[in-house]
Amino acid sequence: MIFGKKGRERFSEAVTGFETAVLERDGDRSESAFQQLYQHFADASGQELAQAAPRLAALLPEVPTGARGTVAVVVGACVERGADATVCAPHVFEGLAENLAGVQRFCERWQATGGGDFLDPGETGADVFDRVGTEETLSWIALPQWEMAGVAMLNHASVRTALTAERRDALLTALRSVEEVSGHDFKCLAYALLVLDEPLVVLHRPTGTGYALRMSGIGDNFQLHTLLADVLIGGGHVPGTAPSAEEAAVCRDQPGQVLTTGAFNLVTPGGEWVWNEGTPSDIPVVDGVRLLVLDPAPYQRSWPSGRFFPHMTGSLVLDRVLGAEEAGRLLASCVTKES
């Protein structure tokens, strides 16, 4: 207990020392204080982390480019240990946007200076700094760190719902541009930005029934598929074999993965397949709400049931069962295609 208290005191002192050194533009003291901060992080209490995270997040614009991503990761780690994500997220997203802008410049200069295969951010050498530029190369190297920090924020529904559509679209557009040009995949960040917290209408074609649900924190359509089977089959609304309690739990908030078997074929109102490998954002919006059709599974398919984002709570809640007339009207407008 005494050791833990000392560790917390040292952590707080290191945060204050780092903050002061950064604001005074003292590189040596900043580096020394950050090493102390990192060393004592594990011993810090939840209260200490809750106090430190907003200070470190607000400090991000003052931190030099080369270290900014590392500090963002520390902010994300504080959030994962209970600090308020909603306070930290705006600073992290601002830093992420600036970093992506730097990475876009890196990609442009890389192509303008001869092109070729992009090196992995972790394998970028000194010659790249000379070829492309210091700030741009540091941005490229730091992108995986900003990805981790961004996902740590987006694990929280309060952050996702507060994120404006403009900010989300801008981050996604910049990220996709970087992925297309560089050939590197930053799937975790892309999928986290695509997570939806909104209504979903589902039509079960074999029974002619429909359901209004609300989804939150669902990272991919494997997770959605399992939760749909749990809510609709497990709830006694449609026939079929429901997933076990454990299969459903790991898709909500429990750790681990459990083998599950698909119950449906997910399709759009236009008859196109909605692949399990995609995200719920692939489901089209019809009259202001996403509309999904469930057909019989054309073949048996199994996968490890679980969450794409282990720290993100998944939820799918049935709000109401559609009336027969409403469900029939919606189904009548949906296309049936042969598999």
User: What is the predicted pLDDT for the residue at 5?
Assistant: 46
User: What is the predicted pLDDT for the residue at 209?
Assistant: 98
Q: Is 334 exposed, middle or buried (0-12, 13-18, 19+ CB in 10 A)?
A: middle
Which residue type does 226 have?
T
Name the band, by pLDDT with cuts 50, 70 and 90, for residue 1: very low
Contact 144, 74 (CB under 8 A): no
Report CA 111 to chain centroid distance, whole Å.
Answer: 29
Q: Assess whether pLDDT exceeds 60 at residue 8.
A: no
Contact 300, 195 (CB under 8 A): no
Name the band, by pLDDT with cuts 50, 70 and 90, for residue 9: confident
Name the band, by pLDDT with cuts 50, 70 and 90, for residue 338: low
More confident residue, 334 or 9: 334
User: What is the predicted pLDDT for the residue at 3?
Assistant: 32
User: What is the predicted pLDDT for the residue at 127?
Assistant: 87
Average pLDDT over residues 208-222: 98
Strand 289-296 and strand 197-204: the pairing is parallel
Q: How far, in Å, are 96, 107, 199, 237 from residue 18 at the CA level?
A: 21, 32, 44, 57
Name the band, by pLDDT with cuts 50, 70 and 90, for residue 143: very high
User: What is the predicted pLDDT for the residue at 6?
Assistant: 52
Q: Structure pTM?
A: 0.93
Q: Assess whether pLDDT exceeds 60 at residue 199.
A: yes
Average pLDDT over residues 322-330: 97
* SS3 letters across 286-336: ECCEEEEEEEECCCCCEEEECCCCCCCCCEEEEEEECCHHHHHHHHHCCCC
User: What is the predicted pLDDT for the residue at 4?
Assistant: 41
How many percent of the chain have pLDDT more than 70? 97
Q: Assess whether pLDDT exceeds 70 at residue 190.
A: yes
Give per-residue pLDDT as tens, 146-177. Answer: 999 999 999 999 999 999 999 999 999 999 99
User: What is the predicted pLDDT for the residue at 122?
Assistant: 84
Q: How far apart are alpha carbons 328 and 308 in whole angstroms?
A: 34
User: What is the predicted pLDDT for the residue at 115?
Assistant: 84
Report CA 17 to chain centroid distance, whole Å.
Answer: 32
What are residue 323's phi and psi, to 5 degrees?
-65, 160
Q: How far apart are alpha carbons 222 and 305 in whole angstroms?
A: 7
The mean predicted confidence, pLDDT, of the chain is 94
Give per-residue pLDDT as tens, 234-270. Answer: 999 999 999 999 999 999 999 999 999 999 999 999 9
Average pLDDT over residues 275-280: 96
